[in-house]
Amino acid sequence: MADSSFDVVSKVDRQEVDNALNQAGKELSQRFDFRGTNATIAWAGEDGVSLQADTEERVVAALEVFKEKLIKRGISLKVLDAGDPQASGKTYKIGATIKQGIESDVAKKIAKLIRDEGPKGVQAQIQGDQLRVSGKKRDDLQAVQQLLRGADLDVALQFDNYR
């Protein structure tokens, strides 16, 4: 019997993030406490989000609105890497990025965790920005998934290609 395997990845459905961004933009334009603050939210590049408002408090509140919309759409806040408010002329801006993929140092940490605390006979190989976990028993692979779900990692993990 061949080994069973699955991939550990960190990817985000861009359409869901786009929907959350559009909902946040709509709420910023309609909410009473954002009236007259010129609060806006928009894409900045491929994986960047730009928030802007007249005051520092309103731009931070706009970021909170965006986070609420991400949570409602089932997207982990671990994928959002937001900076601090920066004064830019008369406005304040926050730049945020949507993180995709598993960085090599985090992948090494996950592989070490699987090696140290996972069941015997389970291997983890780093393949670019994802990990392939393989083993003889499917129960062992499910135990590894439970281990990774319970671990406090700085990245949102999904499990793909379970064979």
Domain ranges of the chain: 4-10+102-160, 14-98
Same fold, 4-10+102-160 and 14-98: yes
Q: Locate 155 and state its tokens.
A: 């990245």
What secondary structure does DSSP assign to 72-98, as a single string?
HTT--GGGEEE---EEETTEEEEEEEE
* pLDDT in the model for residue 2: 61
Each residue's pLDDT tens digit in the chain (163 positions)? 568 889 989 899 999 999 999 999 999 999 999 998 999 999 998 889 999 999 999 999 999 999 999 999 999 999 999 999 999 889 999 999 999 889 889 999 999 999 999 888 899 999 988 899 999 988 999 999 999 998 888 888 889 888 8
pTM value is: 0.85
Q: CA 128, CA 103: separation in Å to the nearest integer?
A: 9
Closest of 160, 15, 14 to residue 100, by C-alpha: 14
* pLDDT in the model for residue 47: 87
The SS3 assignment for 145 reads helix
CATH code 3.30.70.860 for 4-10+102-160 = yes
Task: Give me the CATH code for the 14-98 domain, please.
Answer: 3.30.70.990
